[in-house]
Amino acid sequence: MTAAPDVLVRFRNVEKTYDGQVNVVDRLNLEIRRGEFLTLLGPSGSGKTTILLMLAGFEAVTAGDIALNDRSLANVPPFRRNMGIVFQNYALFPHRSVFQNVAFPLVQRRIARTVIREKVETALRMVDLAGLGDRRPHQLSGGQQQRVALARALVFEPEMVLMDEPLGALDRKLREQMQIEIKHLHDELGMTVAYVTHDQGEALTMSDRVAIMNDGLIQQVGSPHEVYEEPANAFVAGFVGENNGFEGVIENTDGAECAVRLASGDLVRARSDTPRARGEAAILSLRPERLSINPPEDMTANRFEARIVEVIYFGAHNRARLAMAGRDDIVARVPAGAASDTLLPGAPVTIGWSSEHCRVLAPA
């Protein structure tokens, strides 16, 4: 038996409404564990940033309660919450030097000057900005500004760090580099991070756990592997990674395996984690990389005749669009190599997938 996880923040039945009619955040029950990297992932307007703002104390909770270390935050003003925040546009103080920016939280805490100098220099070294303390923020590149913001949010050793789409303004290459750097910082320092993003790739790369939001509701909380491989519903399957969705009706079940009849009449064998009843409407989810073109002979569960509609070159892989079962938007991801070079638009092919990798989900 494992010990209960060490909970740092607990949202209990939290609701938030701005206009008194629609809840931007609804029935939120979520725990953030000490030392973990938790990502709130969702499309814009799903309420993820509002959750962060409530946690930081900038937005009042309409109903429910947020507790930090089992103490309610209801009457704790933002400046006493001891949370480092990294804002989307950095929010560096333009009239102060990099050093003064990073020293700001320490000055506010009336820490001795010599200690401040030492801590700020350590923090700047940590984010690879040693020697740039005298610059003004506008003299730095976007990536460097982001590092300053990071150093400023970490230097006072806060209870936790909140990041609101901190990499949104960076170009792709820099973004990917910063993702790795933030992840390494998290591994080294072991701080608790709540991270908001709409970029599923970012969420999968960096997080210990991902909470997927839609319309103010949490759809699923789990490790990146869980939310990708075992999506709880059609929304998660569609939002995290690429997905082929099929609508159908359960024909029969055999333990975890179900047979689903599609509208086109084809019968697909798939796996369900929850028991399904015959005649129940269901949505099938199949990842493009699990769909094989010209499958090996022993893959017998799902074999269909299809036609290639188009092939798009992506360098390391090709993306083939296929027509089958009365549709022409089935996507397969084919690794680069000899096999993929033979794919020609219009050619008839056999496609297939194992029932293990095709999941039955409840309609969203």
Partner 1 sequence: MTAPAGSNLEVKLRRAQRRRSFTSFLLVAPLLLFILVVFAGPILSLLYFSIDDPKLAEVMPRTAKIVTAWDGAELPGEDAYAAVVEEIRTGYANRTVAAAAMRLNYEISGFRSMVMRTGRKIRRITGPPYRDALIGLDERWGDITYWRAIKASAGPYTTRYLLAAVDLERRWDGSVAKAPPERTIYVEYLQRTFWISFWVLACCILIGYPMAYLIATSGRRTSRILLALVLLPFWTSLLVRTAAWVVLLQNKGIVNDFLLLAGIVDEPLTLIFNRTGVYIAMVHILLPFLVLPLYAVMRNVPPDQLRAAASLGARPVAAFLSVYLPQTLPGLGAGCILVFILSLGFYITPALIGGASDQMLSYLIAEFATRTGNWGMASAIAILLLLSVAALYPVYRGLVRGGTGFRFG
Q: Which residues bind partner 1 (CB under 8 A)?
A: 56-58, 77-85, 87, 89, 91-96, 104-105, 107-109, 152-153, 156, 162
Cα-Cα-Cα-Cα dihedral of 290, 294, 297, 298, to 10°? 0
Nearest residue (CB) to partner 1, 161 versus 204: 161
Nearest residue (CB) to partner 1, 36 versus 164: 164
Nearest residue (CB) to partner 1, 109 versus 303: 109
What's the Cα-to-Cα distance from 199 to each of 44, 83, 237, 321, rounded to whole Å? Answer: 10, 23, 14, 24
The token pair at 208 is: 């210990």
d(CA 128, CA 321): 44
Nearest residue (CB) to partner 1, 100 versus 292: 100
For Cα atoms 348, 349, 354, give the angle at the middle one, nearest 5 degrees: 150
Residue identified by tokens 């759809």 is 219
Q: How many CB atoms lie within 10 A of CB 302?
A: 20
Nearest residue (CB) to partner 1, 53 versus 351: 53
Nearest approach, Cβ of residue 24 and partner 1 (Å): 17
Nearest approach, Cβ of residue 206 and partner 1 (Å): 21
Buried b (16+ CB within 10 A) or exposed e, 230-269: bbbbbbbbbbbbebbbbebebeebeeebbbbbbeeeeebb
Backbone angles phi, psi at 230, to 5 degrees: -130, 65
Nearest approach, Cβ of residue 168 and partner 1 (Å): 13
Nearest by Cα to 53 from 85, 26, 22: 85
Nearest residue (CB) to partner 1, 163 versus 210: 163
Q: Helix (H, G, I), strand (E, B), or coil: what is residue 68?
A: strand
Nearest residue (CB) to partner 1, 156 versus 246: 156
Nearest approach, Cβ of residue 125 and partner 1 (Å): 20
d(CA 291, CA 353): 5
DSSP assignment string, 275-318: ---TT-EEEEEE-GGGPEES--TT--SEEEEEEEEEEEE-SSEE
Nearest approach, Cβ of residue 138 and partner 1 (Å): 10
Listed in sequence order, the residues at least 6 apart from 6 whose beta carbon sits closer than 8 Å to its beta carbon are: 33, 34, 35
Nearest approach, Cβ of residue 156 and partner 1 (Å): 7
Nearest residue (CB) to partner 1, 95 versus 173: 95
Nearest approach, Cβ of residue 291 and partner 1 (Å): 44
Nearest approach, Cβ of residue 188 and partner 1 (Å): 22
